[in-house]
Structure 1
Amino acid sequence: MTPEAPPTTPTQAVEIVRSRYAQPKLPDGTPAELKVHEFDIGYLVFAVFPPRTDAAGRPQPSPPGGAKIVVSKETGETVTVPNYPTEKAIALYRKNVERNA
C-alpha cells in the first residue's frame, strides 16, 4: 500500500494500520486490541483475540488463517504477512524485502 509518512513510534504504526485496514472485531462487536512488536526495520502489528472455548468452557483451537501487518520504518509502506509466530513473520518480511531490493 502507498505510504503516507514513516512511523517513528509503535503508536504511529498502529494508526497507519487502522487507517488502511478494517479493524478486527471481537465476537461481541467491540474492536480487537492491536499489539505491536517493534524490530530494527519495522513494526509488526497484529490483533489479539481472547482464547476460544466451547459451551462447556473447554479451550478450543483458534481458526486457521489471518494475517499480521508490517509497517516499514523507512517508508511507511505496509505489507501483510501470514499469521505466523512473531519471529517467523519478521523473517518472512526480511526475506521479501531482500528479494525486492
Structure 2
Amino acid sequence: MTSDNSSPAGPRTGPTTPQEALELVRSRFGQPRNTDGSPAPLQVREFDLGYLVYATYPPRVTPVDADGRPLPAQPGGSSLVVAKDTGTVSTLPNYPPQQAIALYRRQQDRRKASEG
C-alpha cells in the first residue's frame, strides 16, 4: 500500500528525521498491540532511501505440537517504509529489519527499471 502525498501546494517532501517519519506513521496507522493488548513499541531504522518503522514484540515461547515439534509462527504483521524523498509510505512483510530494507531496495530498483 502506498499513501497519497499530493496536496494543493504540490507534492510533499519526505521526512528529514526518524522522529518525523515516526510521527507520520503514527498519524496514519493504528498502534500495533502485544498479545496482552498493551501497545507494542515502534522502532525506526534510518537507511539511505528512507525510514523503516516496525513494532518490537517481547520474545514468545515457541508453541509445539503433541510430539514436541515447533509449530509455524502465526501469519501477519507488517513494517512500513517512509521514503526520504517523497514521504510515500510503503508496507512490507514483517521481516527482520535488514531483510525488509533489502526487499524495499529491490522493489525500488524494479520500479525504476520499469519506468525506463
TM-score by length of 1: 0.83
Alpha-carbon distance in structure 2 between the residues aligned to 1:64 and 1:51 = 16
1:100 aligns with 2:108: no
Deviations 1:56-82 (A, max 9, x none): xxx236533211100000000000011
- Per the alignment, residue 83 of structure 1 pairs with 94
CA RMSD, 1 decimal: 1.6
Higher strand fraction (1 or 2): 1
> Aligned to 1:2, what secondary structure does the other structure show?
coil
- For 2:16, which of 8, 14, 34 is the aligned residue? 8
1:20 aligns with 2:28: yes
1:60 aligns with 2:72: no
Q: Which has the larger radius of gyration?
A: 2
Letter in 2 for 1:23: Q
Aligned residues: 95
Identity rate of aligned residues, in percent? 53
Deviations 1:70-98 (A, max 9, x none): 00000000000111121111111111111
Which structure 1 residue ranges, 5 or more long, are not aligned?
53-58
Which structure 2 residue ranges, 5 or more long, are not aligned?
6-11, 64-72
TM-score by length of 2: 0.73
Letter in 1 for 2:56: V
